[in-house]
Structure 1
Amino acid sequence: MLTKFADPHVRFRIAASLAALSLVIPAHAEQPTHAAHAMVLSVQHDAADAGVSILKQGGNAVDAAVAVHFSLAVVYPFAGNLGGGGFMLIRDKHGRSHFLDYREKAPAAATRDMYLDAQGNIAPGRSLVGYLASGVPGSVAGMIYAQSHFGKLSLAQDMAPAIKLATDGFVLSAAEATWLQSKNIARFPVSAHIYQRDGNFYKAGETFQQPVLGATLTAIASDPNTFYKGAMAQKIAAFEKEHSGLITAEDLASYEVKDREPIKGRYHGYDVITAPPPSSGGIILVEILNILSTYDLPKLGPDRGTAQVHIITEAFRRAYKDRADYLGDPDFNQLPLKQMASLKYAAAWRSSIDPDKPTPSASLVRPANFMPQPPDSPPHKQPTDTTHFSIVDKDGMAVSSTTTLNGGYGSGVTVEGLGFLLNNEMDDFTSKIGVANVYGLMQSSANSIAPGKRPLSAMTPTIVTTRGHWYRHGKLYLVLGSPGGSTIITTVANDIISVIDNHLDVQTDADAPRFHHQYLPDRLDLEKSFSAEVGDQLKAMGYTTNRNQHADEKSPGTWGDSELIMVDPKTHELLGGHDSRRTYGKAAGY
């Protein structure tokens, strides 16, 4: 349990002028979206509307989630998918929670060193682009499992909006049309033909139709077994074999969804329900919140002020060190989750935080006598393309779901004749000990490649409730999550802190400038919209700071996509905060 109490360690000696700073979040006119009964938030507006249409037909939050997921495979191919995987956190109207793991798996032919060249070095791009980059997709299995176990309508009903969007098409915004010009797609003729009209790029206002994908969705709705054990599985396997990929019909037939026990923690009077391994997100989120649990953050200064950012960053640094050293697929490893979630361990980490200056990652020493020896840890010297949606139905059932192809448009490969992209999830494994993945994350041998193994993830779908007791569950309070690769965990942590500690409304929270530290590299990343004054003060304290993508002024310098739903504790109204960074998404409800 996490309890709030005074801590003599909290003595911040930053100049008094810093304490007087006003709220360091850029002003904006956006207000939370209100709904009396049910709400869906998604990065793409057609997908959000698909979820609401299912809710209005009598479906529950899981039915709506299935509709949103399949619709995102049509309208947001950048990360929405059939050929990827993800996680779904469900809390039913009675307060019972389930965590569905439909993460991709390494094919049976995968080997530990498959991405190394003859000299033992990582072969550039091999785990990211093309036919060898894909794990066995789990998304379709996940949606079928969720719908059959927790939905109220039929799979065909839930998939109908996605089939219509694929067959009839949807109108592209300027941003969406630009996204389709990805060089990753252009490498592969089938992908370039579907998404780029063989170089005649789509323009804003045009309708994008995908009849081949529509036929694939229709076949799945009619026969859910076809993708893994039927004609479609044979077609996927034949395509992989033709191009020297590793996924076989046997890999597809043996895929299974895992219904795992969620990670649970407490923070300042609230219960936090979140993602267990193979997501690293939940346990690292709980560890961060445990370290912060005795601080009265608002007394240190404003949200996103120097004092708060320093303390929160030092919690990030310590928790991400444990992520790097210990985490992997729980079906293949014994993970020290109990030790990582220990309040005594958090207190020991907390005592190492200097209130005046950062602790260099190279000198960070883990508290003794709490954790086992880490497996083959990397030495200390040494992209962000997912999507999240949040749903609450009229009965209070909630879904927080994060899904991915890993990189934007995954491997770039579209399965010929089926019209969907395959993931490049194999890069999330540890290709070589001591060498970072595409997100700069260092990982241990616990996450090394092995047949049938699921790669470690940072996806952190989370639900927060009021404090429950042994005889009753708490009341639903927040449903949240984000894409963003290694930044997902820090985005979710900051969203929780900003709402619970600093009392930001969910829209202001979703739009607030982000900061991130992941232990290695030892660098504090700041979004471009982050206060320059605060950034300078943090640099003066001793941080190495990076104004995100500052070298390219045309870049928006943003990451993540917070999709938050709050249940107003007084009125019980649903309040939605859709991240304004993504102009083509929305909060929808009724």
Structure 2
Amino acid sequence: MPRLTPAKNYPRRVAGLCVFCLTFAYSVASLGQAAILEGERFHPQVGEHGMVATSHYLASQIAHEVLEDGGNAVDAAVTAGFALAVTQPRSGNIGGGGFMLISDEKSDKVIAIDYREKAPAAAYETMFQNEQGEAVSELSRYTHNASGVPGTVAGLAMALDQYGTMTLAEALAPAIQLAEEGFIIPPRFAEGLEQSQDRLKQWESTRKVFYKPDGSLYRPGERFRQPDLAATLKRIAENGPREFYEGETARLITAEMQNHGGLMTAQDLADYQPTIREPVHGNYRGYDVYAMSPPSSGGAHIVQMLNILEGYDIHAMGFNSARTIHVMSEAMKRAYADRAEYLGDTDFVDVPLEGITSKSYAEELHNQIDLDRATPSSEIAAGDPLPYESNETTHFSIADDSGLAVSNTYTINFSYGAGIVVDGAGFLLNNEMDDFSAKPGTPNAYGLIGGEANKIEPEKRMLSSMTPTIVKKDGKNFLVTGSPGGSRIITTTLQVVMNVIDHGMNIQSAVSAPRIHDQWLPDEIRIEDGISPDTIALLEAMGHKVSQQEAMGAAQSILIEDDGTFTGGADPRRSTSSAMGI
């Protein structure tokens, strides 16, 4: 398997780098000082030596300082990942898991770190079904058994140990300070807690972390502190990542499970390990596309859809024209039909990856598409490619001038995951078990149909849509992207790639442009605001059902120009998004 050259073979650009010594003026600043002006944040950001793009300006500022002080892109990514766990607990924290892609121009290798959660050893196929054999969604979403064994701490630590230059304690220092001293609450943070209070206040452990002692809400501009989380992060900094899986934190997780009938055990935590995988690789119009391999479905299907769409002159057809949206929709339907049939954890099932991503199979699917008529989903089934989570997921992209680029997507699935804080540890449990097929053929929370390949099995990783992606041109890092958005992650990432390559957009325009989504079932094209009524009418005349819904994704992205200039695009769909160059 391709592996990057370990970081110890790289010279450190600044000896004795100490993140403890960084100045965290932003963690004690007023809200107005901390926030970047809206008029500046959502214009392309430019850097000569590196770029960070994250969903929270505090994490962006922290990662930016790591790069400025001599750290590499992996150092900055891991530091940002832990900082986001503090500042955006609703979407990604140490109770979850995810995937990281790292591209290194020096070794010409791209590796994928899989730190997706695993099912506990006691998990079984029908655990979320009732006596009648029907799936019960509440069981897989809002209980202790909804949580898979978390992978974030192990995954980020692996990336840092093998490809970074900092110690884990250095990378954790900013997150510890943000948790201990607190940060000023932005409007989005306060709104999320208000909107979710009925669910979150059901648990005493959650109520005492996210609400005031009298049960009232935190408001924008107030300071929010998380002392239990700070203590947890300190233990990990002092004792290493195994503390989370075998130390006091593991004891707290196990106690939480035992007190509420959860299946996860101390042995499940002790046995957890992330793994290095080979990413999916495709080629689109001369660009090399690398994306996450199973148990993510993202890489397989973004390459599959690009292969289908390569047969059309997308640029000539026009950005978001009716004809362009039509062929995108048709490609998306066929990819999601295959996803339902074939995708799962390759440690447990055979996935026909080579077939799904082949140009010849894409040509077969391309030939099925009628340019003037929508194919009803009822007429589409999984093809024969043989031979061979949330909406509140968090994605960030980081690149440096040494040739390293990082694309990372991680999550706890729903907004606030299962809604359950591990008592005494200060972090939320994920509800990623809902990403399994609780009953084959029954849709999950995102309407995605799953089959036998993604059924629940002990120690299996649940299928994901997370799609961290790195595009290279002539061996050089070109585009670093990815997104949150549940089932819309794959199509969001697809459109950022197409906006840059097919439509020649700058990176900010590429991430800000209106998006569409079609996932086979339900049989509809979902669109954001910004698609013209005339275009909608033309699509409906072709036989498409068009549904205008809320914004999709938050694709924090980086484009690296031919002259080595870095440009960053912060997605305006998240008000706290920020890109910063050095």
TM-score of the pair, normalised by structure 1: 0.89
Match status 1:51 vs 2:44: no
171, 175, 182: which one aligns with 1:162: 175
Q: Which residue of 2 aligns with 1:539?
A: 540
SS at match of 1:125: helix
Matched with 1:5 is: none
Q: 2: distance between equivalents of 1:479 and 1:218?
A: 31
Distance in 2, Cα, partners of 1:31 & 1:587: 9
Q: Conserved in 1, the CA contact under 8 Å of 2:311 and 2:366?
A: no
- 1:581 pairs with one of 560, 573, 576: 573
The equivalent of 2:446 in structure 1 is 439
Given the alignment of the two structures, is residue 404 of structure 1 paired with residue 411 of structure 2, yes or no?
Answer: yes
Aligned-partner Cα distance in 1 for 2:128–2:407: 33
Q: Which residue of 1 aligns with 2:561?
A: 568
Match of 1:195 in 2: 210
Q: Does the Cα contact within 8 Å between 1:412 and 1:422 map onto a contact in 2?
A: yes
CA RMSD of aligned residues (A): 1.5
Distance 1:178 1:101 in 2: 32
The answer on whether the counterparts of 1:44 and 1:72 sit within 8 Å (CA) in structure 2 is yes
Tell me the residue number matched to 2:425: 418
Matched residue, 2:371 = 355
Q: 1:69 aligns with which of 75, 81, 90?
A: 81
Compute the displacement of 1:367 (Å). 5.3
8 Å Cα contact 2:46-2:566 kept in structure 1: yes
Partner of 1:497: 498
Report the TM-score, using the length of structure 2 for normalisation.
Answer: 0.90
Alpha-carbon distance, 1:187 to partner:
2.0
Q: Secondary structure at the match of 2:519?
A: coil
SS in 1 for 2:368: coil
Residue in structure 2 matched with residue 34 of structure 1 by the alignment: 46
- Code of the residue aligned with 2:576 in structure 1: it is Y
Partner of 1:135: 148
* Aligned length, in residue pairs: 537
Query: In the alignment, which residue of structure 2 is the partner of 1:177?
Result: 190
SS of residue matched to 1:127: helix
In structure 2, C-alpha distance between the alignment counterparts of 1:367 and 1:515, rounded to whole Å: 23
Q: In structure 2, how many angstroms separate the alpha carbons of the residues matched to 1:169 and 1:435?
A: 42
**Any conservation in 1 of the 2:94–2:150 contact (CA below 8 Å)?**
yes
- Per the alignment, in what secondary structure is the counterpart of residue 583 of structure 1? coil
Greater Cα shift, 42-51 or 277-286: 42-51
Give, in angstroms, the shift of residue 537 of structure 1.
1.7
SS of the residue 1:197 aligns to: coil
Q: Aligned to 2:135, what secondary structure does the other structure show? A: coil
Q: Distance in 1 between matches of 2:41 and 2:210?
A: 35
Aligned to 1:508: 509
Cα 1:338–1:124 change in 2 (3 A) is closer
Match of 1:24 in 2: none
Same amino acid, percent of matched pairs: 44
Deviation (angstroms), 1:298: 1.7
Shift of 1:521: 1.1
Whether the aligned pair in 1 keeps the contact of 2:42 and 2:569 (CA below 8 Å) is no
* 1:269 counterpart residue number: 286
Paired AA for residue 135 in structure 1:
G
5+ long unaligned stretches in structure 2: 1-39
- Partners in 2 of 1:559 and 1:78 — Cα distance? 17
Residue type of the alignment partner of 2:556: E
The alignment status of 1:462 with 2:454, answered yes or no, reads no
Number of the residue aligned with 1:371: 386
State the Cα deviation string for residues 138-179 of structure 1 (Å, max 9, x = none): 001101111111110111111111011101111111222111
Q: Is the 8 A contact 2:41 2:570 kept in 1?
A: no
CA distance in 2 between partners of 1:588 and 1:125 (Å):
40
Greater alpha carbon shift after TM alignment, 511-520 vs 224-233:
224-233
Structure 2 Cα separation of the partners of residues 536 and 484 of structure 1: 27
Distance in 1, matches of 2:200 and 2:565, equals 42
Q: Amino acid of the residue matched to residue 255 of structure 1?
A: Y
Aligned position for 2:458: 451
- Tell me the amino acid that sits aligned with residue 252 of structure 2: K
Following superposition, the deviation at residue 121 of structure 1 comes to: 1.0
1:292 CA drift (Å)? 1.0
Q: Is contact 1:50-1:162 (8 Å) kept?
A: no
Residue 296, structure 1, aligned to residue 296, structure 2: no
Assess if the C-alpha contact under 8 Å between 1:348 and 1:367 holds in 2: no
